[in-house]
Each structure stands twice: as C-alpha cells, then as structure tokens.
Amino acid sequence: TEVEPVNTEIVTLTRHVLNSQFRLGAHATGDLTLLLTAIQLTSKFIATNVRKARLINLVGLAGETNVQGEEQKKLDVLANDIMINSLRASGKCAVLVSEELEDAVIIEDRYKGKYCVVFDPLDGSSNIDAGVNIGTIFGIYEIAKDSKGTIEDVLRPGREMVAAGYTMYGSSANLILTTGNGVDGFTLDAALGEFVLTHPDIKIPPRGKIYSFNEGNSLYFTKPVVRYLESIKYPTNGKSPYSARYIGSMVADVHRTFLYGGIFGYPSDKKSKSGKLRLLYEAFPMAMLAEQAGGIATTGTMRILDIVPKSIHERCSVFLGSRDDVQDVQRFYKEYE
Ligand code: AHM
Ligand code: MG
C-alpha cells in the first residue's frame, strides 16, 4: 500500500496574510497580521466553547448559576468578552464596536493602535441550544489620518473597510476572509491549532438555484419582494423553480450562498422598516465578502457598501449572492417601487 506523503507546505492564515503583505512591499507593517492573529485566537476559543457548550452548561440564559453557585456566562457574553480582551491586548485597535455592547469601546492610549474592529461575536445565537451552526462576523477599518480613534472612524461607508470576514462554527470551524484582494477560506486544524487554507479564491457562481429568505414574514413583504419570490417559485418559460434553504443563522446561510450560489435576503418590510440585520457588523462585512467573491450586495435599491451609517447599531435591508440572482431582485425594485 502507498503511504500518502506528509504535506509540509501548509498555508496557514497567518502565512497567507503575511504573504499578501509582502506583496504590498514597503507599506506592510505586519500590524494587520497581528490583529488577525487576535481574531484567530478568539475564533479558536469560541469554537472550543461552542463544542463544549452543552457539557459545561454554557447554553441557556445568562444569569443562571452553576453547581458551584457561580454565575454562568451565556456563550454570546463569553464570546464578546474574549473578543474585547484579545483585541485590546493586541495593541492594534483604537475603536471596537460589538453587537453585545450599546456603546463603542474606545481603547485607552496604552493599548491604542490604528484599526477599528466592528463585530458580532456570536451571530445566530438563538440557534445555539439546537446545535445549529453559528458564527462570528467582523469588519476592520483603519482610523482616519489625524484621528485618535473616535466613533466617527466607524461611521463610514463599508467600501472603506480594509478587511472583513466571518468564522462559522459547524462540523469544523471555517474562517472566511477578505483583505480587499479576493476571498479565501480557512479550516481550523484542531491538532495544529491553526487555520489552514482550504478554499482559496472563493467565487460565487454567477447564478444559483437556491433562495434563502424567512418567508414567514411574507405578510409584511413589500411588492418587489413578493413579486420576485413569485417569479422564482412559479417560473414561466419552462425554467425549474428554485429550492428554499433557510437556517436562520446569517453566517451559515451566507456561507452556503457563497459556495453553492443563489440568493440570501433579509429585506426591510412593512413591519421592520429598516430590516433586521445590522449594517456595521453584519451587512457590511458580508457585502464586502460578496463583492470580493464576484457577487452583489444591495438593499434592493442601493449598493450596501455605499451606505453611510448614522449610528453604530443601525439596521439595513439585505440581498446578497449570485450576480444574476441579485440583479433580478434589483429589477423588481425598479419596476414596483
Ligand atoms: P442575532 O444577531 O440576534 O442573532 O440576529 C441575527 C440573525 C441572523 O443570523 C439571521 O440571518 C437572522 O437573525 C434570522 O432572523 P429571523 O429569525 O427573523 O429569520
Ligand atoms: Mg447578529
């Protein structure tokens, strides 16, 4: 029997980011690499704890007490804490925005760096107890030239992000990253404790066969959305109808959309006038990834990355995925709005 040769050319996430920094030559300081190291650590920590959650009583509501009578931290509180601590300690951040915290965290001078990180530490957390995939979403800005790091540094359009990504905690932990030069996917090798490049240069198929919406909101959907969904469920001229897939965990629904193609949508509707998803740390990072992978991300009428946020927890309407599918939605908006 033949023995598989052992691979000694392992491209880890750190090596990959360092490589792309080398290509930038003199401008590269290694700061982004260090910042991403902090993000990788948090992803590994969260991945381990998601896996252990049931055993060590991390599921359920915060405020419960364990057998020792200590307060139990809910998994999303824990995820938030590790991210804040590790990003602060990296010395590379100036401003942090978390879905879990009402106010932005301004890093004290001692630890201050030039990056701002906006993140949802554990998105889809309503799925935790059922063991469904959840994830961490993050976007990274650089502070403005003369800024010391204020909230203004993150109230900027998503197209100014220098990097964005997510980690999905599923059967394995997958970290998907863009630094503005395409999208690459890494899988956590638990034995090495390293994210290894497994999905280089992800490109969304130009058209898919899957749609991913919470159709339970149909009662509230506006006309362009209703008509669009009709068009893919009752196609004319002999085409087959689309398949429905909706997990209710953005990272998982978007991850599938990137790999298989199709469209993910969480539109604004008659009840939720601004939609549900958060602009800064859900829509922007996913929109940057979608565009970098050759897809489109729109509110229906506007490119998501061009929105200028007014507040850090603002929401927005989202459609993203395969180019042709998202363009179809845009046509329905033109026609019916
Ligand atoms: P969360 O940040 O409170 O977890 O909410 C965001 C999640 C997304 O992951 C997902 O796309 C969406 O909410 C699902 O919403 P719904 O349950 O209304 O379909
Ligand atoms: Mg969220």
Torsions phi, psi for 123 (to 5 deg):
-85, 145
Per residue in 24-44, pLDDT tens?
Answer: 665 667 899 999 999 999 999
Ligand in closest contact with the CA of 254: 1
Ligand 1 centroid – CA 248 distance (Å): 6
Tokens found for residue 193: 């404790």
CA separation for the pair 265, 256 (Å, rounded): 13
ipTM entry: 0.96
**What pLDDT does residue 21 have?**
77
Question: What number does the ligand 1 atom closest to the CA of 135 have?
Answer: 9
**What pLDDT does residue 76 have?**
85
Per residue in 241-273, pLDDT tens?
Answer: 999 999 999 999 999 999 999 999 999 999 999
Question: What number does the ligand 1 atom closest to the CA of 216 have?
Answer: 19
- What 3-state class would DSSP assign to 252? helix
Cα dihedral 302, 305, 310, 314 in deg (nearest 10): 90
pTM for the structure as a whole: 0.94
**What pLDDT does residue 60 have?**
62
Strands in 93-98's sheet, in edge-to-edge order, are 105-106, 93-98, 112-123, 134-142, 163-169, 173-178, 184-189, 194-199
Question: What number does the ligand 1 atom closest to the CA of 122 have?
Answer: 4
**CA distances, 146 to each of 35, 44, 106, 143, 309 (Å):** 21, 34, 16, 8, 20
In angstroms, the first-to-last Cα distance of the chain is 66
Ligand 1 centroid – CA 247 distance (Å): 9
Residues of the chain where predicted confidence (pLDDT) is lower than 50: none
**What pLDDT does residue 130 have?**
84
285 CB less than 6 Å from ligand 1? Answer: no
* Phi-psi map region of 82: left, alpha, beta (phi>0 left; psi -120 to 50 alpha): alpha
**What pLDDT does residue 7 have?**
84
- Residue of the CA atom closest to atom 4 of ligand 1: 124
**What pLDDT does residue 326 have?**
98
Please give the full DSSP string across 99-121, using - where no structure is assigned.
TT-SSPEEPPGGGEEEEEEEEEE
Nearest of 229, 230, 222 to residue 268 by alpha carbon: 222
